[in-house]
Structure 1
Amino acid sequence: MSEDLTQARRTLYLWALGLNVVAWSGYLVLTKVMGIDFESIRQARLAG
């Protein structure tokens, strides 16, 4: 039982780390490579 819990926890940590890397990579691609600025988009939406 303890080995199953350890394996499940390790799998969960790896998934969380992987999703975090994917999310940050996507954010950096959008902001640095494609030049999308989310703050200016938010300001434009607030201005109407």
Structure 2
Amino acid sequence: MDEDTSQTTKTVWFWAIGLNVIAWGGYLVLTRVMGITFDSVR
């Protein structure tokens, strides 16, 4: 049971960190490459 719990926790952390990296990567690509900023949107 303990093995399962720790494995699940690791998986959740992996997904959380992975999604954060993807989100920041996409944000940087949009701002740097496309030239989209919050100011231009407003």
Do they superpose with TM above 0.5?
Answer: yes
Structure 2 unaligned residues grouped into runs of 5+: none
TM-score, normalisation: structure 1: 0.79
Structure 1, unaligned stretches of length 5 or more?
43-48
* Larger Cα-atom Rg: 1
Residue deviations 1:1-48 (CA, integer Å, cap 9, x gap): 110000000000000011001000000000011100113323xxxxxx
Tell me the matched-pair count. 42
**2: CA distance, partners of 1:38 / 1:29:** 14
CA RMSD of aligned residues (A): 0.9
